[in-house]
Amino acid sequence: MTIQEPVTARPVGRPRSEKAERAIVEATLDLIAEGMGISELSIEAIASRAGVGKTTIYRRWSNKEDLVVDALATLKAPLPKLAGKSVRDDLIVLADAMRQESGHSRARCVMNIAMSEADRNPRLTERFFKRAIEPRRAAMRETLARGVATGELKPDLDVEMGMALLSGAMLWYGKWGPAGELPEDLAERVVDHVLTGLGA
C-alpha cells in the first residue's frame, strides 16, 4: 500500500517568482559592486550567485543587457512629487533626491563601476539614461523653465547650464565630497548658491 503525500495548495499570487526576481537583481548588483565589470558579467555568474537556473533568468529577461538596465534602475528612487509653487522649493526636492541616492555606498559603488564602462556599453548606457536619468533631467528642466516664465529666474537663463550647475554640484559632493553621510541641508545650500547666479 502506497501512502500519498497530502496535496498542498499553491499560495495565491507569485511570491516565489517575485523572490527569484529579487534574488537575481540583487545578485547582479552584488557582482558589479564587487568589481565585476558589465562586460565580464555573465548570466551564468548571476544565476550561480542568485541560486537559480539560467532558464529562470531567461524567462524574465531576454538578455544580459535587459537585466542590467532593470537592476541599475532599482537603485534610483521614484521621482519625487513637486509642489509646483516655488521653483526654489522644487529644485531643493530634486537635488535632495540626488543626495539621498548618493548616501547609499553600495548604490554609489555600483553606479560608479557601471558608468565607468559607458564607452564599452553605449546601448546599455543609453537605455539606462533614458529610463532612469532622463525623467529626472526633464523634471529639473521643466522647473527651471517655469522659473523663467514666472519671473523667479532671469529671463535669459541658459536652462541646460542651470541643470549642469545644480546636478554637477550634487554629483561632486556624492562622489568626491567628505566621507560619510552627506549633510541633510546640502541640497538647500547648493540650490541657494546656484540661484544667487540664476535668480532674477
Q: 145-172: per-residue pLDDT in tens?
A: 999 999 999 999 999 999 999 999 998 9
Residue 104 has pLDDT above 90, yes or no: no
Least reliable range by pLDDT among 17-26, 31-40, 81-90, 95-104 = 95-104
| Residues 22, 44 within the same domain | yes
| Residues 159, 110 within the same domain | yes
Domain range spanning residue 19? 15-73
Tally of domains in the chain: 2
Q: Are the CB atoms for 131 and 69 separated by under 8 Å?
A: yes
| Residues 93, 50 within the same domain | no
Tell me what the mean pLDDT of segment 20-44 comes to.
93
Least reliable range by pLDDT among 7-11, 26-30, 109-113 = 7-11
In a domain, 5, yes or no: no
Which tops the pLDDT comparison, 14 or 33?
Answer: 33
The grid coordinates listed for 126 are 543609453
> Is residue 72 classed exposed, middle or buried when 0-12, 13-18 and 19+ CB atoms within 10 A define those classes?
buried
Query: Residue 200's pLDDT is what?
Result: 62
| Residues 56, 140 within the same domain | no
In a domain, 35, yes or no: yes
**How many degrees, rounded to 5, is the angle at CA 194 between CA 190 and CA 198?**
155
Mean pLDDT (the chain) is: 87
| Residues 122, 24 within the same domain | no
| Residues 95, 177 within the same domain | yes
Query: Residue 184's pLDDT is what?
Result: 92
Residue 41 has pLDDT above 90, yes or no: yes
pTM of the model: 0.79
CATH code: domain of residue 28: 1.10.10.60
The grid coordinates listed for 186 are 546640502
| Residues 169, 127 within the same domain | yes
CATH code: domain of residue 94: 1.10.357.10
Residue 4 has pLDDT above 70, yes or no: no
In a domain, 2, yes or no: no
Which neighbouring-strand residues pair with 199? 153
| Residues 190, 136 within the same domain | yes
Residue 16 has pLDDT above 80, yes or no: no
Residue 2 has pLDDT above 70, yes or no: no
In a domain, 25, yes or no: yes
